[in-house]
Amino acid sequence: MFGEQLVNGLALGSIYALTAIGFTMVYGIIRLINFAHGDIFMIGAFFALSSVTLFNAPLIVAFLVGMAGASIVGILLSRLAYKPLFDAPRINLFLAAIGAAILFENFAMLVWGPQTNTFPVLIDMHNYSILGLKFTTLQVIILVCTIIFMILLHLLVNKTKVGIAMRCTAQDMNTARLMGINTDRMVYVTFAIGSSLGAAAGILVGMYYQAVYPMMGFMTGLKAFVAAVLGGIGSIPGAMLGGLVLGISESLGAAYISSGFRDGIAFIILILILLIKPSGILGKVTQEKV
């Protein structure tokens, strides 16, 4: 049972990690806890679902549609709702995020209805045994997708000019501007990346739990937020690590303590981390941006 729960935790943790990256990158660049991020995760899953149910799209295409659609939604969100408030107090931005979250949820209910949709399984299910642990095809897909996305993200952020410019913008926006960087554009790029990874996570969750519904982003969004804080908000490797730690603790906790306790574990971890190391596992002691 331990092995099974570990694998389950890894899969869940990968999904949290993919979602947490959007939180952490957006926080890193504009110091906003983007509470609409969980809903972008949901919208991405719906886009992918619709591409399958309406157009019989193959899985890869469904992923591309979901991720591209979500990044457009992310860019529009940042451009229309957040950009006018960049110079306002952070609380205004935060309220805009909550407003956007409610808007997205209602939009989804209107377009796709409030019911839970099953995501048609488009793959043959097998069981694999790797290093003595048993994986289902879906779990392998989740892990492989996550690893690929993480590697791509790492290369993008650390090796490309746009990626380095994004990091500059996150570190010191005014100085980034003095380099000739269009920092607004960097913010949009950040939203696009975070949203597309969130959408990928949403699609994977939809497949894993066979459920796509308008409120699906709420709990996962909160958990991903916990994962981002756990790893050190603003840190991309932190979000990855935080997601995995959270996913594994949740699975093991649900198995060995009580399954009714599953969702509580995330918040116990959040409280512990805030008490013991508020900057998170990989977080630096943050200086407030002025």
Partner 1 sequence: MLEVKNLNAHYGAIHALKGISFTVNKGEIVTLIGSNGAGKSTTLNSISGLIKNRKGSIKFEDEEIIKCRTDEIVKRGIVQVPEGRRIFAELTVEENLKMGAYLRNDSDGVKKDMKKVFDMFPRLAERKTQLGGTLSGGEQQMLAIARALLSKPKLLMLDEPSMGLAPIIVEQIFAFIKEMNEKDGLTILLVEQNANMALSIAHRGYVLETGNIVLSDTAEKLRTDDEVRKAYLGEG
Size of residue set near partner 1 by CB under 8 A: 18
Angstrom distance (rounded) from CA 37 to CA 194? 8
CB of 96 to partner 1, least distance (A): 20
Closer Cβ to partner 1, 80 or 179, answer by number: 179
Any idea how long the chain is?
290
CB of 284 to partner 1, least distance (A): 9
Closer Cβ to partner 1, 6 or 164, answer by number: 164
Q: Which stretch binds partner 1 (CB under 8 A): 121-129, 170-178, 203-211, 225-233?
A: 170-178
Cβ contacts of residue 190 below 8 Å, gap of 6+?
25, 26, 28, 29, 166, 170
Residues numbered 74-93 forming contacts with partner 1, rule: CB under 8 A: 87
Query: Which among 14, 12, 31, 11 has a CA at the least distance from the CA of 23?
Result: 31
| Cβ neighbours of 56 (radius 10 Å) | 11
Closer Cβ to partner 1, 121 or 178, answer by number: 178
Closer Cβ to partner 1, 106 or 286, answer by number: 286
Q: Which stretch binds partner 1 (CB under 8 A): 47-55, 88-96, 160-168, 257-265?
A: 160-168
CB of 286 to partner 1, least distance (A): 13
Question: Which runs of consecutive H residues, i.e. helices, occur in the chain?
Answer: 2-30, 37-55, 59-76, 90-112, 137-159, 161-171, 173-178, 183-208, 216-231, 236-256, 262-276
Q: Which two tokens stand for residue 89?
A: 């107090």
Q: Does 161 bind partner 1 (CB under 8 A)?
A: yes
Closer Cβ to partner 1, 106 or 171, answer by number: 171
Q: Does 167 bind partner 1 (CB under 8 A)?
A: yes
> Are the beta carbons of 23 and 224 closer than 8 angstroms?
yes
Cβ contacts of residue 267 below 8 Å, gap of 6+?
226
CB of 195 to partner 1, least distance (A): 24
CB of 103 to partner 1, least distance (A): 29
> Are the beta carbons of 70 and 199 closer than 8 angstroms?
yes
Contacting residue, 164, 252, 255, 282, with partner 1 by CB under 8 A: 164
Closer Cβ to partner 1, 167 or 262, answer by number: 167
Residues numbered 179-198 forming contacts with partner 1, rule: CB under 8 A: 179-183
Q: Does 177 bind partner 1 (CB under 8 A)?
A: yes
Angle, CA of 128, 227 and 22, to the nearest 5°: 90
Which residues of the shown chain bind partner 1 in the complex (CB under 8 A)? Answer: 87, 161, 164-165, 167-168, 171-172, 174-183
